[in-house]
Amino acid sequence: MSKPLVALLSGAGISTDSGIPDYRGPNGLWQRDPEAQKLVTYEYYMGDPEIRRRSWQMRRRNRTLQAQPNAAHQAVAELEKSGVPVRVITQNVDGLHQLAGMPDRKVLELHGTARRVVCTGCHASGPMEDALARVEAGEEDPPCLECGGILKSATVMFGERLDPEVLGEALAISKACQIFIAVGTSLQVQPAAALTGVAADHGARLVIVNAEPTPYDDRADEVIREPIGTALPELLRGFGG
């Protein structure tokens, strides 16, 4: 008998144990400092060199690239290694699912990745570490080495569209999966949140693991409020083997 396809939609809550703050939560950065939101808003970023300089300093201080996967990320990768078909759809940009051992092709990054930079002109791409090394060496707003264009993090900024190809793939997985687990996400940011409803509409067993209530709790087969670092590994052990 074939094993059920497990889709996992992960949000900021899965990475807080790795020391990465939740930007959108009640105590998140965007709530505390609306000015900080400008640093990740495409229009401001492209139009104001000062915003770009501050953005590079923010990235330099950011602990995302130093973060390590935690027990929840490890549990997802272990489930995939056990032979269960797993697909991760993540709203996170930290790359921790892949660092934990999930194959890159099985992780869909809806909001891009903070581990790479991309040129807004010629679309050349490279490691974030290389660009940050240039900032450390004194370049306040390092231009693209290929065309001299404006470099940005390969994340989806406010005011940018999600990659339609990635979103299309996420939609297909949500329709096809037998089990859909939403973990560490408020399920309030569209279009990611809507994937939860799509999965439920197509007959998936819906499990929500999140500290706070979500708009989809009433549609879930199971809602788990326990800490993600212990609750998710325990839940996924039940799907293994």
In angstroms, the CA 59 to CA 37 distance is 13
- Rounded to the nearest 10°, the torsion over CA 16, 18, 20, 22 is -10
Tens of pLDDT along 41-100? 999 999 999 999 999 998 988 878 889 999 999 999 999 999 999 999 999 999 999 999
Tens-place pLDDT, residues 149-167: 999 999 999 999 999 999 9
Instruction: Please give the C-alpha separations between residue 159 and each of 40, 52, 137, 204, in angstroms, as whole numbers.
Output: 9, 16, 30, 32
DSSP state of 222: E
Q: What is the mean pLDDT of the chain?
A: 93
Q: Report yes or no: 130 and 175 within 8 Å, Cβ to Cβ.
A: no
Cα(191)–Cα(71) distance, integer angstroms: 27
Amino acid code (one letter) for 143: P
| CATH code reported for the domain at 1-20+68-111+161-241 | 3.40.50.1220
Whether residue 30 is predicted with pLDDT greater than 60 in this model: the reply is no
Contacts of 175 (CB under 8 A, 6+ apart): 198, 199, 202
- Segment 97-121 shows an average pLDDT of 97
As assigned by CATH, the class of the 22-62+112-155 domain is alpha beta
User: Active site residue: 73, 97, 111, 123, which one?
Assistant: 111
Query: Are 94 and 15 contacting, i.e. CB atoms less than 8 angstroms apart?
Result: yes
Helix (H, G, I), strand (E, B) or coil at 34: helix
Q: Are 182 and 217 in contact (CB under 8 A)?
A: no
Q: Does the annotation count 73 as an active-site position?
A: no
Q: Where are the domains of the chain?
A: 1-20+68-111+161-241, 22-62+112-155
